[in-house]
Amino acid sequence: MAERKKQTVVSSGVSGLDEIIRGGLPASNLYIIQGAPGSGKTTAALQFLRAGVELGEPCIYVSLSQTKAELEAIALSHGWTLDGIRVEELSASDSINRAADQTIFQTTELRLDETRKTIESAIEEHKPSRLVYDSLLEIRLITGDSPRFRRELIAFKAFLAQRNIVALLLDTQTYETDRTGEEVDGLAHGVIRLDKSLEEYGGVRRRIEVSKMRGVPVADGYHDMAIREGEGVVVFPRIVPGAAARTVKPQLIKSGVDTLDEMFGGGQESGTTTLVIGQAGTGKSTMASLYATAALKRGESVGLFLFEERIETFFRRSEGLGMALRQFHEDGQLIIRDFNPNEISPGEFGQIVQQAVNSAKVKVVVIDSFTGYLNSLPHREKAVRDIQSLLKYLARAGVLTMLIVAQHGLLGQGVGIDVDVSFLGDTVLLLRIAEHEGRLRRSITVVKKRHGPHDLDVRELFIQSSGVTVIPYNPLPEA
């Protein structure tokens, strides 16, 4: 059987997008980037051309809608230059101006012919490998009707294909708004759509979809994205749990407190998820710190992701319990990130966690709290599905993940989120607090453990400056 020839691809220049399209854009083809104004089309186009410049390829930006000064301003906002990119401003080209001098009213055919000639002349002169055409809206206005616009696009596609040029055509008209019968998507080898939306509170939410890419098994559906100063458009591909393969056998993860480990039948298992549930003051974050400290002392790396507590507050609280973790953080063994509400998308968060696991070989991940994570996102049901994919990925990588889940109110009336998350946990650790004769007593119980035996007894939990202690729970005698 003949070996299948591998398709030649070129980098899109957009971080994360090449992963979605399996390595890059198939060479010598025409692509359309669609999106509303401000969705990032021009920025992504500049990244595509800059990637070509880095490879020594001649590149042209054909602009009918923006001036070179405007493009330079966009590039400068990211610390870039247009060096190596030739900008053709057709709205101010000499050829069109000369055509306008020949008649009081410039006809549609004349404007279209002159625009086409100017573009083709620039391509013949500079022989680019990559080209950006900005935008199709101006050509729609010049042609005046859909059949003529479609014929013009077909001819331009053939012209580029003969010269092995990879071209990006920017378009403000999307599938949802296209009611003209142009069917421009069918002419392109690939179509990439950029989407942005405003929630009731917080920043803009951005997404990207590769709706078409001939001959490429793309990761379909929406993927989160952002526009970052200095980076441009950044894409966060959705997590594929199967991408992580467990390379080690499951092992017991110990807390460093023997009586606590006994409750779990000797310890918790790697490759599982533990929900730590309780009301305020029960010691949920302390439990996570306990396992993190034990892992760090074993020489393992730990990833701690905070949504409610500041990093400095975490260090001070841990130090108050005899757990000194600053040096581990300075040495890079403890990875800590804290997030403000509404500043991160599920896709970006998943990528941050994946990178920590892959680059630093993290063995314990703590998300404190999962309640805070969900409260920072507008669509909780979707966020739960996203976190489920992340947890499956971490499980296959042999990571113990601890999710801190708060209960409603000071006395803990129900779980503090309005969606069911119980199915996410392989293990559920329940912490409670109750008052008896002027003293608060903490209790700890393992209510669920899918893997192996566990203790069903309720035990008493003491959190002191000397450390954490777990003892049998002895009810006080009634008066």
Are 232 and 259 members of one domain?
Answer: no
Q: According to the model, what pLDDT value does residue 85 have?
A: 97
Are 285 and 194 members of one domain?
Answer: no
Nearest CA to 235 out of 321, 96, 363, 345 is that of: 345
Residue 392 lies in a domain: yes
Q: According to the model, what pLDDT value does residue 376 have?
A: 73
Q: β-pairing, 427-436 with 334-338?
A: unpaired
CB atoms within 10 A of CB 135: 22
Helices (H) and strands (E) in the chain, counts: 14, 22
Sheet of 427-436: strand order equals 334-338, 301-306, 362-368, 400-406, 273-278, 427-436, 439-449, 459-464, 467-472
Q: Is the pLDDT of residue 96 over 50?
A: no
Are 223 and 260 members of one domain?
Answer: no
Q: According to the model, what pLDDT value does residue 102 have?
A: 46
Q: According to the model, what pLDDT value does residue 436 have?
A: 73
The tens digit of pLDDT for each residue in 421-439 reads 667 889 999 999 888 777 8
CB under 8 Å to 365, separation ≥6 — which residues? 302, 303, 304, 305, 353, 356, 357, 394, 399, 400, 401, 402
Q: Is the pLDDT of residue 358 over 50?
A: yes
Q: According to the model, what pLDDT value does residue 305 have?
A: 94
Distance separating alpha carbons of residues 118 and 173, to the nearest angstrom: 24
The tens digit of pLDDT for each residue in 210-228 reads 999 999 999 888 999 999 9
Cβ proximity of 342 and 198 under 8 Å: no
Distance separating alpha carbons of residues 392 and 456, to the nearest angstrom: 26
AA identity, residue 37: P
- Cα torsion 99, 104, 109, 112: sign: positive
Distance separating alpha carbons of residues 335 and 304, to the nearest angstrom: 6
Are 204 and 294 members of one domain?
Answer: no
Q: According to the model, what pLDDT value does residue 423 have?
A: 74
Nearest CA to 168 out of 61, 254, 249, 267 is that of: 61
Asked which of 145-154, 411-420, 440-449 is least confident by mean pLDDT, the reply is: 411-420
The tens digit of pLDDT for each residue in 242-264 reads 665 555 577 889 998 999 999 99
Residue 289 lies in a domain: yes
| Alpha helices for 190-254 (secondary structure H) | none
CA distances in angstroms from 416 to 38, 279, 287, 409, 420, listed in the order given: 37, 9, 18, 8, 10
Which of 238, 258, 288 is a domain's end point? 238
Mean pLDDT on 362-380: 83
Are 361 and 391 members of one domain?
Answer: yes
Distance separating alpha carbons of residues 287 and 318, to the nearest angstrom: 11
Mean pLDDT on 190-205: 84
Q: According to the model, what pLDDT value does residue 421 have?
A: 65
Mean pLDDT on 297-322: 92
Q: According to the model, what pLDDT value does residue 422 have?
A: 67
Mean pLDDT, the chain, whole residue set = 85
Are 309 and 345 members of one domain?
Answer: yes
CB under 8 Å to 388, separation ≥6 — which residues? 424
CA dihedral 455, 460, 463, 469 (to 10 degrees): -60
Q: According to the model, what pLDDT value does residue 185 have?
A: 86
Distance separating alpha carbons of residues 452 and 449, to the nearest angstrom: 7
Mean pLDDT on 372-398: 82
Tokens matching residue 232: 């441009």
Q: Is the pLDDT of residue 3 over 70?
A: no
Residue 190 lies in a domain: yes
Q: According to the model, what pLDDT value does residue 162 have?
A: 95
Strand, helix or coil for residue 326: helix
Of residues 179 and 314, the one with the higher pLDDT is 314
DSSP 422-461: GGG-SEEEEEEEEEETTEEEEEEEEEEESSS------EEE
Residue 398 lies in a domain: yes
Q: According to the model, what pLDDT value does residue 375 have?
A: 76
Which of 223, 238, 253 is a domain's end point? 238
Distance separating alpha carbons of residues 116 and 113, to the nearest angstrom: 5
Residue 202 lies in a domain: yes
Q: Is the pLDDT of residue 286 over 60?
A: yes
Q: According to the model, what pLDDT value does residue 93 have?
A: 42
Q: How confident is the model at residue 98 (pLDDT cuts 50, 70, 90)?
A: very low
Are 210 and 347 members of one domain?
Answer: no
Count how many domains the chain has. 2
**Residue 40: domain span:** 9-238
Are 263 and 226 members of one domain?
Answer: no
Local structure of residue 464 (DSSP, 8 states): E
Cβ proximity of 249 and 427 under 8 Å: no
- Cα torsion 268, 426, 244, 403: sign: negative
Q: How confident is the model at residue 186 (pLDDT cuts 50, 70, 90)?
A: confident
Cα-trace Rg, the chain: 29
Are 203 and 273 members of one domain?
Answer: no
Sheet of 222-228: strand order equals 85-89, 59-63, 130-134, 166-171, 30-35, 190-198, 204-213, 222-228, 232-236
Distance separating alpha carbons of residues 441 and 463, to the nearest angstrom: 10
Nearest CA to 168 out of 34, 54, 75, 57 is that of: 34
Q: Is the pLDDT of residue 123 over 60?
A: yes
Are 264 and 380 members of one domain?
Answer: yes
Are 213 and 297 members of one domain?
Answer: no
Q: Is the pLDDT of residue 281 over 90?
A: no
Which of 238, 270, 287 is a domain's end point? 238
CA distances in angstroms from 224 to 209, 227, 236, 359, 381, listed in the order given: 9, 11, 5, 22, 16
Are 209 and 268 members of one domain?
Answer: no
The tens digit of pLDDT for each residue in 298-309 reads 999 999 999 888
Domain harbouring 248, CATH code:
3.40.50.300
The tens digit of pLDDT for each residue in 44-82 reads 999 999 999 999 999 999 999 889 999 999 999 999 999
